[in-house]
Structure 1
Amino acid sequence: MSKRAVLEVIALDAEDALAARAGGADRLELVTDMAADGLTPSVATVAGIRAAVDIPLRVMLRLADGFAAGDLGRLVRIAHEMREAGAEEFVLGFLDADGGVDLAAVERIVEGLDGCRWTFHRAIDRAADRDALRKQLDGLPGLDTYLTAGSAAGVDDGLPTLLAEAARRGEPGYEQQLLVGGGLRLEHVPILTAAGIDGFHIGGAARPGGWDGPVSERAVAEWRAVLDGGS
């Protein structure tokens, strides 16, 4: 019997976190400013969510829209503050102007994380060469997940890429869990689980009222039921 699929839900505040946990989320991604596709939340928000729920959470390390690293010194300081506030897992990903991974930036942040587990986020979907990016990041401490839709345009376009990458699981650069998110819908789940994919990430799908409304426990529970039924 395969292990239960991971369901990660974006949370903006403690209210979201409590609803996501009640609906059956395994993990939270903590961000702010979804108009910019998710930036680093405040330390106070992270501490409040950490106090509200006991499930794992991953904190976004991203200062501005786009995939340039920006002020690395500030990011390192923020990561340290987040760890002091109780964060143990993170989300990050930086590209250079040519669409290659900004390895120097990633390595500097990861060094500051001191072994914490982390996700390389959807910057991979904007990379000039996904395979090269994975191989360059291979072996970095703590990297255990790629959050990807397979395409910058979303899962509908990226499905063939996701299935091809799932088939390579275990090869160098492909040991990490595929966490599928970005235009993900419930009808994608059977195709993805049949390919052995066991990580799913939802944001808007957990919010029937849109990003101005809270996470819906009922919406999360619907995803949980589909994932558990398909595993």
Structure 2
Amino acid sequence: MSPIYNEFTIEIATTDFESTKNAVAGGADRIELCANLGEGGTTQSYGVIKTCRDRFDVPIYPIIRVRGGDFLYTEEEFACMLADAVNCKDLDCDGVVVGFLKANGEIDVERTARIVEAVYPMGVTFHRAFDRCRDPLEALEQIIGAGCERILTSGQELTAIQGAPLIRRLNEQAAGRIIIMPGSGVRTDNVKALAADTGCTQFHSSLREMIPSKMKFSTPAFVNDAESIRHSGIDPAKVTAFKKALV
């Protein structure tokens, strides 16, 4: 398959080695490597991160997150995430994805900056914790000051389509100082319009679908159990179609 070249960058959120392999085969420009996307993404295992880094040439950004839920972490949780971030640097990843808030809804600038410093010269994306912050325009300046290179956001709405007006405003205020990357609900049939509405050039999607299990045997009690008969995955053709939609 011939490469697709355009002015846009597509980042695909993957959940394991197989989905990463398929996303790369479909033409993903960058990978956000996660586990547990149903919880918003948590840090994958050492083995998965290392194998993906060894096998694929595209930029790989593991998410650094110890649990689902909110983005207010204890000192012990932060220590775990700092260690995971440094581990990704040691594995020669291209960057990490993080997000820290204070209880009052402000960006935890100190913790964000500590991660940026610890993994330098790797890149750092501030993820959709941003969509739960108190003042997104102030937060934008704080995240720039902390040294992040990118913000993943749905414009503080459930989907980036709904949040497009704020995303455009953020992109205009950023003025090239940081990348604003729309994510959440971004699909092949709406990404072109989202690009026009926001002025953004990088887009994030998971393109997840359920893949049937290849198991031939199942015990009776689990014959209809969703986790036993299917798992989350990515079709390379869907990634290619997503990229082509921006050409």
TM, length-normalised to structure 1: 0.88
One-letter amino acid matched to 2:127: H
In 1, the alpha carbon distance for the partners of 2:186 and 2:128 equals: 13
| Aligned-partner SS, 1:45 | helix
Q: What is residue 138 of structure 1 aligned with on the other side?
A: 144
- Deviation of 1:193 after TM superposition, in Å, equals 2.1
One-letter amino acid matched to 1:157: Q
One-letter amino acid matched to 1:225: K
Unaligned runs of 5+ residues in structure 1 are: none
Q: Which has the larger radius of gyration?
A: 2
- Deviation of 1:168 after TM superposition, in Å, equals 2.8
Aligned mate of 1:94, from 93, 100, 117: 100
- Deviation of 1:90 after TM superposition, in Å, equals 0.7
One-letter amino acid matched to 1:164: R
| Aligned-partner SS, 1:201 | strand
| Aligned-partner SS, 2:100 | coil
| Contact preservation (8 Å) 1:62, 1:69 | no
| Aligned-partner SS, 2:193 | helix
In 2, the alpha carbon distance for the partners of 1:227 and 1:221 equals: 10
Q: 4+ runs of 1 displaced by more than 4 Å?
A: none
- Deviation of 1:69 after TM superposition, in Å, equals 3.2
* CA RMSD, Structure 1 to Structure 2 (Å): 1.9
Aligned mate of 2:190, from 188, 201, 207: 188
Aligned mate of 1:165, from 170, 175, 200: 170
Q: What is residue 23 of structure 1 aligned with on the other side?
A: 26
Per-residue CA deviation, residues 183-219 of structure 1 (Å, 9 max, x unaligned), is 123333233322421111111xx22327923211011
Paired-residue identity, %: 27
| Contact preservation (8 Å) 1:100, 1:129 | yes
Q: What is residue 54 of structure 1 aligned with on the other side?
A: 57
Q: What is residue 208 of structure 2 aligned with on the other side?
A: 207
One-letter amino acid matched to 1:42: S
Q: What is residue 222 of structure 2 aligned with on the other side?
A: none
TM, length-normalised to structure 2: 0.83
| Aligned-partner SS, 1:175 | coil
In 1, the alpha carbon distance for the partners of 2:192 and 2:155 equals: 16
Q: What is residue 71 of structure 2 aligned with on the other side?
A: 67
Q: What is residue 155 of structure 1 aligned with on the other side?
A: 160
In 1, the alpha carbon distance for the partners of 2:73 and 2:246 equals: 34
One-letter amino acid matched to 2:246: L
In 2, the alpha carbon distance for the partners of 1:197 and 1:77 equals: 32
Stretch moving more, 183-192 or 143-152: 183-192
1:227 matched to 2:235? The reply is no
Unaligned runs of 5+ residues in structure 2 are: 212-229
| Contact preservation (8 Å) 1:126, 1:152 | no
